[in-house]
């Protein structure tokens, strides 16, 4: 056979090697060329050169699926007496039919390309598709059963050679997503139904959208509290956030005070800066002390109202008690929720008390009513009323209780009592403990010494 290439060309080396081996794949030949001739060449480059040799009818070729489920081609010399060869595939001996290059191969690809373009053109709603989804549509609508690996190769040629399709940047479990318009691909990844993303990744996106700014620690707490599909380990959360950052342009992260912060850049920039400022403050040493002091004050209140008060007259008062802390609803978080029954269970007399503990400074109107745009936070009463209408308190009798460590704006107590709010001051708690013979200093001194450092 006449040689078509120069002696020192890589293609000639590959051609000579396959004549010697009789049969081989691009991956096998890539390693053999380096071992025998000392020439480094990638399997992708070998695959391209083998394809060119096949196209010149110097080789025969057959398509098969390897052990990892991917499409692979086997090449052989074209002077075999029989074009059927036996190969060991996945532990089984299988007969493989080799074929030469013909114009029908090109016409079939053109036919399938036109079908793929027609599938996207006739969609009722623009939607990116995986290769296996295109195969299913071809089978249902066009009575074709192409190999998914072959379709994957053709789709990539439509992306990179012909510019007819766009492809997702990341490969998902089912493969890449394809569509003529890249904006459609990105939109379906970034917004519901978040095509291609796993349930925990969809949950992370929704949580970031809802909270705007959130730390990795808060994500883990939310996962444990809600018992949802959110990841619970910090390593998994970190990996998922890195993945989502590559796919979704509005997700950003920063590292502050040994904590990872994730935030949504699509909201108003001024509002975002305000939220970041708040989160950075609560991650600072001063913020951590105030947070700890607030939690201790909540624990102090929960101890008084759920442990001490409910010790007497258990037959009639405060039976079947359930206590929840830091319960998050649709419109915000509640410090302590105590549900209890009055009298025997058969009477069905049950109420829910929702506690709001205010530990710092003077309580103002914005903290009780309406919405604070700077803090992106609903006031206690407004938040409670919204939850009663369409939230976690539906169908329950709710008694709001405001527990104050300091002071409140004049006139506000009157408005709160009209809303059915009971206000309890720290001084009243201390008086009660003293009357019951409980030394309040034994609790408060530990709190003050450990968490509260006055200026």
Q: Report pLDDT digits (tens) over 256-277.
A: 888 889 998 888 888 888 888 8
Phi, psi of 71 (to 5 degrees): -75, 140
What pLDDT does residue 223 have? 84
More confident residue, 349 or 221: 221
As a whole number, mean pLDDT of residues 118-136 equals 90
What does each C-alpha distance from 348 to 36, 85, 163 come to in angstroms? 87, 80, 69
With a cut of 80, say whether residue 254 has pLDDT above it. yes
As a whole number, mean pLDDT of residues 238-263 equals 87
What pLDDT does residue 311 have? 53
Question: 79: exposed, middle or buried (C-beta count within 10 Å: 0-12, 13-18, 19+)?
Answer: exposed
- The predicted-structure confidence for 14-54, as pLDDT tens digits, reads as follows 888 888 888 888 888 888 877 877 778 887 788 878 888 88
Classify each residue of 290-317 as buried b or exposed e, where b means 16 or more C-beta atoms within 10 Å of its C-beta: beebbbbbbebbbebbbeeebeeeeeee
Helix H segments across 266-375?
269-283, 285-303
As a whole number of Å, the end-to-end CA separation of the chain is 94
For strands 398-404 and 71-77, give the pairing: unpaired
What pLDDT does residue 8 have? 47
What pLDDT does residue 308 have? 56
Work out the number of other CB atoms within 10 angstroms of the CB of residue 282: 14
What does the block give as tokens for 430? 């201390």
What domains are there in the chain, each with its CATH number? 10-101 (1.10.10.10), 104-190 (1.10.10.10), 199-279 (1.10.10.10), 287-451 (3.40.1350.10)
- The predicted-structure confidence for 154-191, as pLDDT tens digits, reads as follows 888 889 888 899 999 888 878 889 999 999 998 888 88
With a cut of 60, say whether residue 91 has pLDDT above it. yes
What pLDDT does residue 165 have? 94
Nearest to 444 by CA among 336, 306, 293, 308: 293
Give all strands (DSSP E) within 59-130, no chain letters.
Answer: 59-65, 71-77, 84-89, 92-97
| Range in 95-109, 305-319, 374-388, 397-411 the model is least confident about | 305-319
With a cut of 80, say whether residue 203 has pLDDT above it. yes
What pLDDT does residue 452 have? 46
Tell me the C-alpha distance between 48 and 73, whole Å.
Answer: 11
What pLDDT does residue 2 have? 44
- The predicted-structure confidence for 397-452, as pLDDT tens digits, reads as follows 788 999 988 888 888 888 898 888 999 988 888 887 777 776 766 666 655 554 44
- The predicted-structure confidence for 224-233, as pLDDT tens digits, reads as follows 876 567 888 8
What pLDDT does residue 446 have? 53
What pLDDT does residue 366 have? 85
- What mean pLDDT, rounded, does the chain reach? 79
With a cut of 70, say whether residue 1 has pLDDT above it. no
SS3 for 416? helix
Percent of the chain with pLDDT over 70: 81
- The predicted-structure confidence for 298-340, as pLDDT tens digits, reads as follows 777 777 666 655 555 454 556 677 888 888 887 888 888 888 8
- Angle value at C-alpha 220, between 214 and 225, nearest 5 degrees: 105
Confidence band of 454 (pLDDT split at 50, 70, 90): very low
In which order are the strands placed within the sheet that holds 251-256? 213-215, 259-264, 251-256
């Amino acid at each position: 056979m006449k040689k078509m290439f120069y002696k020192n060309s890589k293609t000639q080396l590959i051609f000579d090697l396959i004549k010697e081996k009789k049969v081989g794949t691009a991956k096998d030949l890539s390693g053999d060329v380096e071992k025998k001739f000392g020439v480094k060449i990638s399997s992708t480059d070998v695959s391209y050169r083998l394809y060119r040799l096949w196209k010149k009818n110097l080789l025969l070729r057959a398509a098969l699926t390897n052990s990892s489920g991917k499409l692979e081609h086997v090449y052989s010399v074209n002077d075999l007496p029989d074009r059927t060869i036996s190969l060991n595939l996945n532990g089984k001996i299988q007969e493989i039919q080799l074929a030469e290059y013909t114009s029908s191969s090109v016409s079939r690809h053109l036919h399938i390309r036109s079908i793929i373009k027609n599938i996207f053109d006739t969609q009722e709603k623009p939607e990116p598709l995986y290769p296996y989804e295109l195969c299913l549509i071809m089978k249902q609508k066009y009575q074709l059963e192409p190999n998914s690996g072959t379709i994957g190769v053709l789709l990539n040629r439509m992306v990179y050679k012909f510019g007819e399709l766009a492809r997702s940047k990341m490969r998902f479990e089912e493969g890449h997503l394809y569509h003529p318009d890249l904006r459609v691909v990105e939109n379906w990844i970034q917004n519901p139904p978040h095509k291609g993303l796993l349930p925990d990744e969809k949950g992370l996106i929704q949580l970031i959208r809802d909270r705007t700014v959130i730390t990795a620690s808060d994500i883990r707490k939310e996962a444990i509290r809600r018992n949802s599909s959110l990841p619970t380990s910090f390593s998994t959360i970190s990996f998922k956030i890195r993945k989502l950052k590559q796919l979704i342009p509005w997700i950003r992260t920063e590292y502050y005070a040994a904590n990872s912060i994730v935030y949504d850049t699509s909201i108003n920039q001024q509002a975002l800066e305000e939220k970041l400022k708040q989160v950075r403050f609560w991650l600072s040493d001063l913020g951590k002390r105030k947070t700890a002091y607030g939690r201790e004050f909540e624990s102090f209140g929960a101890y008084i109202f759920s442990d001490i008060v409910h010790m007497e007259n258990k037959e009639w008062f405060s039976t079947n008690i359930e206590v929840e802390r830091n319960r998050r609803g649709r419109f915000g978080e509640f410090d302590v929720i105590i549900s209890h029954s009055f009298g025997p269970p058969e009477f069905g007399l049950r109420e829910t008390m929702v506690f709001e503990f205010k530990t710092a400074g003077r309580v103002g109107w914005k903290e009780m009513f309406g919405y604070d745009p700077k803090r992106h936070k609903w006031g206690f009463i407004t938040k409670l009323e919204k939850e009663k209408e369409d939230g976690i308190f539906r169908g329950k009798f709710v008694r709001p209780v405001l527990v104050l460590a300091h002071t409140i704006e004049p006139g506000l107590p009157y408005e709160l009592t009209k809303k059915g709010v009971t206000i309890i001051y720290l001084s009243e708690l201390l008086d009660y403990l003293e009357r019951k013979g409980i030394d309040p200093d034994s609790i408060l001194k530990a709190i003050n010494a450990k968490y509260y450092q006055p200026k």
